[in-house]
Structure 1
Amino acid sequence: MNEKKLNEFAARIRARMAELADLSASGKDAQAVVELDQQAVGRLSRMDALQNQAMAKAQQANRDLETRRLEAALIRVKEEEFGYCEDCGEEIPVKRLNLDPAASKCVSCASG
Structure 2
Amino acid sequence: MPLSPDTARVLLKAQLQALDEEDALGREGTAPVTLEQDSVGRLSRIDAMQMQAMALAQQRRRASQRRQVEAALQRIETGEFGYCINCGEEIAEARLRNNPAIATCVTCAGGG
Larger RCO (CA under 8 A, 6+ residues apart): 2
Structure 1 stretches of 4+ with a deviation exceeding 2 A read: none
- The number of equivalent residue pairs is 111
| Structure 1: gaps spanning 5 or more residues | none
* Partner SS state of residue 75, structure 1: helix
* C-alpha distance in 2 between matches for 1:54 and 1:32: 10
Letter in 2 for 1:55: M
* C-alpha distance in 1 between matches for 2:86 and 2:30: 37
CA RMSD of superposed structures (Å): 1.4
* C-alpha distance in 2 between matches for 1:88 and 1:36: 52
* C-alpha distance in 1 between matches for 2:38 and 2:48: 15
TM-score, normalization by structure 1: 0.94
* C-alpha distance in 2 between matches for 1:91 and 1:85: 6
* C-alpha distance in 2 between matches for 1:69 and 1:33: 28
The equivalent of 2:108 in structure 1 is: 109
* C-alpha distance in 2 between matches for 1:29 and 1:88: 42
